[in-house]
Structure 1
Amino acid sequence: MVLPFKRIFISGGAGVIGQEMVRRLATLPADIQVLVGDIKPRPADFPVRFQYRQGDLNYLTEQEIGAFGPDLFIHLAATFERSTETYGFWEENFQHNVRLSHHLMTVQKDLPSLRRVVFASSYLIYDPALYNFAEVPAQARSLREDDPILPRNLTGMAKLAHEIELRFLQTFRGEQFSTAIPRIYRGYGRNGRDITSRWVRMLLAGEEITVYGAESFFDYLYAADTAEGMLRLAAAETVTGIINLGTGQARRVSEVVEVLRQNFPDLRAKYVASDIPFEASQADMTRWSSQIDWLPPTTLELAIPQIIAYEQARGDAPATKAPGHVLISSVAAKVPLVRAVQAAAKRLHPDMKVVGGDMNHACLAQHFTDAFWHMPATADEHLPEIIRYCLDHGIGHIIPTRDGELAFWSRHRAALAEAGIAVLVSALEAINRCIDKLEFSTFGQENGLPIIPAALGLDALGITTDVHGSATPGFVVKERHGAGSLSLGLNLPEAAALTHAHALQEPIFQPFVEGREISVDAYVDRSGKVRGLVPRTRDVIIHGESQITTTLDAPGLVSRLVPIVEKLGLYGPLVLQALLTPDGGLHIIECNCRFGGASTLGIAAGVDSFFWFLQEAAEADLNLFPFQPAAGPLRQVRAAADIIMRNFE
């Protein structure tokens, strides 16, 4: 098979059909580039050269997919339930069928690269009155593309809705890209959730299977054939619109049981009567046969042994799990941070929880997390207890938020990684360099960085006045360790500076610099490169924290800051405090090697710290999630808010 496309985007590519499709694409020439998007973790056997985007594709941006520039989009991603949809499926169907399909075309419909769209629809769209019967049917009804439609469930409704959306887009974008919509019949395959795979797993475990509607007919389409058929349909660019994809040869459920019996001679089956109508459907493949020189070749007799072999090889391997939950330590009253982490976690996987941890059992933020842990102090002797809690509660990520605990998490980063827990923390040497303001200043001098000098005594600063004493300098006096705003003496003359120093535990002295105070939010990835960086002004400051802050549109400043930040050897989110002087000078005050109190503005401006951390923990390629600076300045105002809660404990 030859594909006339070079850049292929597959949504839902880690599913049963998607994995079969990726296996086929892996055999094609190496110049074909593939991007797979799925909410599940990357399958272990996916080719390294294929790009993989793990996460909820409802959050895929136009910039992300535009950076890849697909010429073929194959839309497989969907959610479904078994024969009867539950009440809880109402919202899931909307989010991951209706909304998702609409969103994926919204971000791609205007891409100049896009030439072809293939959407996996379903025979569930057809009116069930055509193929459901009260009595045992003698044969299956062949459904044609022009037969009456009346979706029999929410999944069918969602498929039809997107069929209509694609038809609408063809009115306006028909010259840009073509669309093919295969209506797929009863799917089954390796690693599937379908009844055939479930029966195989039960029989391998020595269990009895339960059979409903043994006389019903279904057009069983093996996932490997579905993948092959969709790729062939994609290549046939002149074939557009709705087209059936099945075998055209329905088989009774009882025949599936007999094929299983051929492979499991001791099979035990319980046949149960049901008031559900008998189904008898199959695809009319007339249009397909006239357009595509290929028909699905795999029968139940060929497919079921392959499914059995797959399940035997998989053995007792654990099923793929959702990514581990997130623990925010020292959560205190950091409600905006909690909400930012929750938003990032939801983008990766809807089942991810955010757990708040704090030594204060009455801390405010616990009312906003998904769960709360009254955790012990972050001391070395408590490490086994912390690891045990994380393992027992499915926690796979830890986000420290307090300077005083960073060293603990950094020291034990390797032990936590061995337990499968990723920690958003820098190397210990880099942390100590930032927390110790004297060492930070020395590092700046040794590396030619514009960090304001600091010394243990005024004499060591080497600042002198002129002979008339008219240029009396001012000094800044602060604690060597801890938050810079605590016990700060600002723009003090020499005598006052010395007096102020007596009230501090470990005072250091710095020259006072008059300038415009800014903060800089940045994220440094595992390779040591700045992934995103945004400067912002500190417009109103209370207790050292920006209550009102505004982003700066200053490309030149960003270019100066990036190499400085990379020189610090940090990992993850950080906040620089700096001064801009009227002469164009940049003077760095200090660096907080963690997420800052007002850094939620940085996220809004494009520094996607928590999402990037979760992706890196999943071994994703961050190039799939490029820094997308927000257009125009953004301002953040921090204000108290009253929250009314119901059904609280």
Structure 2
Amino acid sequence: MPQPLVLPFKRIFISGGAGVIGQEMVRRLAALPADVQVLVGDLKPRPADFPARFQYRQGDLNFLTEQEISVFAPDLFIHLAATFERSTETYGFWEENFQHNVRLSHHLMTVQKDVPSLRRVVFASSYLIYDPALYNFAEVPAQPRSLREEDAILPRNLTGMAKLAHEIELRFLQTFRAQQFSTVCPRIYRGYGRNGRDITSRWVRMLLAGEEITVYGAESFFDYIYAADTAEGLLRLAAAETVTGIINFGTGRARRVADVVDVLRHHFPNLRANYVASDIPFEASQADMSLWSSHIDWLPPTSLEAAIPEIIAFEQSRAANAPVAKAPGHVLISSAAAKVPLVQAVRAAAKRLHPDIKVVAGDMNHACLAQHFADDFWLMPPTADEHLPAIISHCQAQGIGHIIPTRDGELAFWSRHRTALAEAGIVVLVSAPEAVQRCLDKLEFAAFGQKNDLPVIPTTLSLDAHYVFDNRAGAATNSFVVKERHGAGSLSLGLNLAEAAALAHAQNLKEPIFQPFIKGQEISVDAYVGRNGHVHGLVPRTRDVVVRGESQVTTTLPDPELVARLTPIVEKLGLYGPLVLQALLTDDGNLQLIECNCRFGGASTLGIAAGVDSFFWFLQEAAGADLAQFPFHPARTPLRQVRAATDVVVPVAQTA
């Protein structure tokens, strides 16, 4: 009788954990004591039955950082994530295999190989590594060939090549890191299971729909291993820390394809099967489990006869009840204009979450420059209330699930309708209407700041001969700043003006406001406030060269004390998402707030480079993730951004 599973690990990272094997594994880990922590990473959305205490990272793990995984500090890494195609790989699989097999495996070990907590690595390899000449036959085979670990290797396709490449990489790492962690590479045989892409699940779905199934190579043998058994076996193998290197993992008992059909016929008496002749060789393989049995007191127990009814029950239940999981919606950037760096930043964030997400540049100008850097373009109607139904209809028709406003003049519209859009399945990156209003209105912003004891610069609508400002340093001033109450104040700014000049300048403005002129270093603050109202990341930066109100050259200020002062101030503003706070650092160490833009700023791409990962955090929150899983890691050294024009040359499609 096999012993119960006992895992000597407390922090387990599973790549590809929302897959067929991964879900079975998570179910087993959920039964372990509460002190066992699990981090699951996958492109797919979080499965509904995953325990709330388990962390989930949706997105392309090619973008997982060493800092991110170091925070979790895994002691066990189980690498399940992989992409594959059944039977014959298509021409388009060339790039997909490299990105999500070869590159991914290399990257995940790159970011973990120096993490001190790591003790064990289990890599789900494949029997496809073995030379197919050992188990492929032109004639119907009488019995299967038992493959041994020392048999000849010659991967029969790109997937097998990728598996072998990473086996060799892990062997390489063991020559340097054997004292830190051990690695084992189980070569898994023909997997099948609930919610699978394998032929067994596909046939069950077809039979439930009353369709005929097509059968190739009915006399071939495969070593079918049920995903639930695979999950159990991989965890047992992980616990056997002295087992390293290559090891076969199957049942050791191959079955013919015809056996699968016979079991299905037992449950579907009216089964219709079309047996098709093929020039594909007959396969006859199974795992030699001698090495496994010498180390692991357990063998996969589930037969086809026991597993197939479970798969049928699962598919029946899913067809009746379960919603179909959807890929994350596409992203619309409204008022995209010439905001090329912003579009590129959104595209980078979207691809990290899911490679199929498209970024659509939206604008009222058909010659919008940003469209050349997006995946698609939409000539949008004006953001006016009467156009809301058309905007929602277009977004739903095009699969747009996220909207990122980029212009002050449209923020009120998107904020006012964010609930209606959410009900339509569209998440907008915008703050609540009252928070947007006080950022758009500089007078209201100053009044709010004074009421909430924030260090705002006093602001008034008028000046007279007897009025002077108290500049909070105890001295009066007769030098003023004049700007528009609404909109980009820097474009019509009157700076360091005497009273008469200030009044004269105000005559040229629509709604002038007056502030005292205060000497100091002007800074911008890029921050992201999560849905919980807390600052998730904040980076101050100097405005070294300013052109038309935007920083042409800007440099981050790695000042923890300043960050600590700014964080509670930003949180009092009641905003959500990215923001840019403008402030002054005076010579006496005081902090003076000028204004706040409740959107992503023109030079805020430096904030992303410095760790304020605004667009990725937004997409993760929209997908239901807890941002605690994506901690803020500020850049360790100062960074400088220089915004310069760049020529881009692209091929032009030929027209007939």
Length-normalised TM-score, structure 2? 0.97
Question: What does 1:420-499 align with in structure 2 at a 5 Å threshold?
Answer: 420-459=425-464, 462-463=467-468, 473-499=478-504
CA contact (8 A) 1:455 1:461 kept: no
CA contact (8 A) 2:136 2:281 kept: yes
How large is the RMSD of aligned CA atoms in angstroms? Answer: 1.4
SS state at 1:230 partner: helix
Give how far 1:445 is off: 1.1
The aligned amino acid for 1:315 is A
Percent of counterpart pairs with the same letter?
Answer: 82
The separation in 2 between residues aligned to 1:159 and 1:487, in whole angstroms, is: 62
Question: Which one of the candidate residues 133, 141, 148 is aligned to 1:144?
Answer: 148
Identify unmatched segments of 5+ residues in structure 1. none
The separation in 2 between residues aligned to 1:518 and 1:32, in whole angstroms, is: 44
The separation in 2 between residues aligned to 1:87 and 1:297, in whole angstroms, is: 38
CA contact (8 A) 1:453 1:461 kept: no
Name the counterpart of 1:520. Answer: 525
Bigger mean CA offset, 344-353 vs 555-564: 555-564
Name the counterpart of 2:270. Answer: 266
Name the counterpart of 2:83. Answer: 79
CA contact (8 A) 1:127 1:149 kept: yes
* Structure 2 residue 570 is the aligned partner of structure 1 residue 571: no
Name the counterpart of 1:47. Answer: 51
* Structure 2 residue 362 is the aligned partner of structure 1 residue 357: yes
Deviations 1:451-487 (A, max 9, x none): 111001124994179xxxx986211111111111122
SS state at 2:234 partner: helix
Give how far 1:195 is off: 0.5
Name the counterpart of 1:558. Answer: 563
Question: Which one of the candidate residues 574, 591, 595 is aligned to 2:600?
Answer: 595
Name the counterpart of 1:367. Answer: 372
Name the counterpart of 1:290. Answer: 294
SS state at 1:73 partner: strand
CA gap of 1:507–1:146, structure 2 versus 1, over 3 A, is same
SS state at 1:486 partner: helix
Name the counterpart of 2:189. Answer: 185
* Structure 2 residue 110 is the aligned partner of structure 1 residue 106: yes
The separation in 1 between residues aligned to 2:392 and 2:477, in whole angstroms, is: 55
Question: Which one of the candidate residues 9, 20, 23 is aligned to 1:19?
Answer: 23
The aligned amino acid for 1:45 is D
SS state at 1:157 partner: helix
Question: What does 1:380-399 align with in structure 2 at a 5 Å threshold?
Answer: 380-399=385-404
SS state at 2:490 partner: coil
The separation in 2 between residues aligned to 1:36 and 1:388, in whole angstroms, is: 35
CA contact (8 A) 1:454 1:461 kept: no
The aligned amino acid for 2:332 is L
Deviations 1:234-283 (A, max 9, x none): 11112111111101010111111111100100000001100000000000
The aligned amino acid for 2:377 is F
The separation in 1 between residues aligned to 2:170 and 2:369, in whole angstroms, is: 48
SS state at 1:10 partner: strand
CA gap of 1:648–1:559, structure 2 versus 1, over 3 A, is farther
Bigger mean CA offset, 562-571 vs 485-494: 485-494
CA contact (8 A) 1:519 1:576 kept: yes
Give how far 1:319 is off: 3.4
SS state at 1:315 partner: helix
* Structure 2 residue 137 is the aligned partner of structure 1 residue 133: yes
SS state at 2:580 partner: strand
Give how far 1:322 is off: 1.4
The separation in 2 between residues aligned to 1:294 and 1:460, in whole angstroms, is: 92
Name the counterpart of 1:409. Answer: 414
Name the counterpart of 2:71. Answer: 67
Identify unmatched segments of 5+ residues in structure 2. none
CA contact (8 A) 1:461 1:510 kept: no
The separation in 2 between residues aligned to 1:461 and 1:422, in whole angstroms, is: 50
The separation in 2 between residues aligned to 1:258 and 1:462, in whole angstroms, is: 95
Moved over 6 A (4+): none
Name the counterpart of 1:32. Answer: 36
CA gap of 1:564–1:136, structure 2 versus 1, over 3 A, is same
The separation in 2 between residues aligned to 1:510 and 1:353, in whole angstroms, is: 44
The aligned amino acid for 1:146 is E
The aligned amino acid for 2:410 is E
CA contact (8 A) 2:468 2:477 kept: no
The aligned amino acid for 2:79 is H
CA contact (8 A) 1:606 1:629 kept: yes
The separation in 2 between residues aligned to 1:462 and 1:570, in whole angstroms, is: 33
The separation in 2 between residues aligned to 1:61 and 1:553, in whole angstroms, is: 21
The aligned amino acid for 1:70 is P
Deviations 1:411-459 (A, max 9, x none): 1111111111111000111111111100111111111111111001124
The aligned amino acid for 2:296 is I
Count the aligned residue pairs. Answer: 645
The aligned amino acid for 1:450 is P
CA contact (8 A) 2:414 2:430 kept: yes
The separation in 2 between residues aligned to 1:550 and 1:289, in whole angstroms, is: 61
CA contact (8 A) 2:214 2:276 kept: yes
The separation in 2 between residues aligned to 1:538 and 1:30, in whole angstroms, is: 49
Length-normalised TM-score, structure 1? 0.98
Deviations 1:518-549 (A, max 9, x none): 11111111111111111111111111111111
Deviations 1:288-313 (A, max 9, x none): 11111111011111111110000000
